[in-house]
């Protein structure tokens, strides 16, 4: 599931409440989940693992995949994208040169670390990392929820295209607005439209714990 919503609309609360029904690991990239897990008394089923920097995130991801958790939450994909960008930038700076489109140059192009930026041309590399993370979780037979802040009007072409691709590969895409959840796509039961937060929590719990779609419908 891709769960999209502005900051403060309750995405993490929804994920933790869903996680109270199944063993869940939250990869806490935003570094805010511990407080919410404690507030909702979800410690019995929800475990929080560190999600930053990217190398730590990948270590936590491996532990989560190898655990007995049924659900893995990445909170948030917005921040994950940024820590991948920082990781990628550091790798490029360590190399000391940068080629666009794979075009090799005979001379070395030096990079100024104070001014070098990851431009939208590199978003496909970031998207590939995110897609590989989703595939790794799915291949382990676990469900996942990635929370995400919608792109702003100033978002780059790469970021907008990446969101479109993520919506395409996820079985569910929902938009959260405080106490209302709007299901945009649902490949499980084709159950689109608005739901209250509580109804949505129960619905997703059923999907995760069901042996077949018939048990949910």
Per-residue model confidence as pLDDT tens digits over 12-47: 999 999 999 999 999 999 999 999 999 999 999 999
Half-sphere exposure of 171 (CA within 13 A, CB side): 14
Residues near 205 by Cβ (< 8 Å), separated by ≥ 6? Answer: 18, 21, 22
Taking the CB of residue 28, how many other CB atoms lie within 10 A of it? Answer: 24
Q: Write down the H helix ranges in 140-196.
A: 157-169
**216: in domain:** no
**95: in domain:** yes
142-146, 152-156, 199-203, 209-213: which range is least confident on average?
Answer: 152-156
Give the three-state DSSP class for 25: strand
* Count of domains observed in the chain: 1
**141: in domain:** yes
**200: in domain:** no
**132: in domain:** yes
C-alpha–C-alpha distance, residues 217 and 209, integer Å: 13
Task: Provide the angle, in degrees to the nearest 10, between the axes of the packed helices 197-209 and 11-19.
Answer: 40
**118: in domain:** yes
Give the three-state DSSP class for 86: helix
* Structural domain boundaries, residue 2: 1-27+66-71+83-155
Q: What is the pLDDT of residues 110-167, one digit of tens each?
A: 666 666 666 655 667 888 899 999 999 999 999 999 999 987 776 667 677 778 888 8
**6: in domain:** yes
**58: in domain:** no
């Amino acid at each position: 599931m891709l769960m999209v919503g502005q900051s403060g609309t309750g995405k993490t609360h929804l994920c933790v409440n869903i996680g109270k029904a199944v063993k869940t690991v939250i990869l806490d990239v935003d570094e805010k989940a511990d407080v919410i897990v404690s507030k909702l008394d979800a410690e019995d089923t929800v475990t929080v693992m560190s999600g930053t920097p990217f190398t730590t995130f990948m270590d936590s991801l491996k532990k989560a995949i190898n655990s007995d958790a049924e659900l893995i939450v990445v909170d948030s994909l917005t921040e994950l994208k940024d820590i991948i960008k920082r990781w990628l930038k550091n790798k490029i700076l360590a190399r000391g040169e940068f080629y666009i489109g794979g075009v090799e140059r005979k001379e070395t192009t030096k990079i100024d670390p104070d001014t070098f930026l990851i431009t939208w041309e590199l978003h496909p590399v970031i998207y590939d990392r995110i897609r590989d993370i989703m595939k790794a979780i799915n291949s382990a037979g676990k469900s996942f929820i990635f929370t995400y802040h919608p792109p702003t009007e100033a978002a780059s072409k790469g970021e907008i295209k990446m969101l479109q691709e993520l919506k395409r590969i996820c079985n569910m895409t929902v938009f959260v607005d405080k106490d209302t959840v709007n299901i945009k796509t649902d490949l499980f039961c084709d159950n689109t439209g608005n739901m209250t937060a509580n109804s949505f929590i129960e619905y997703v719990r059923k999907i995760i714990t069901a042996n077949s779609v018939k048990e949910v419908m």
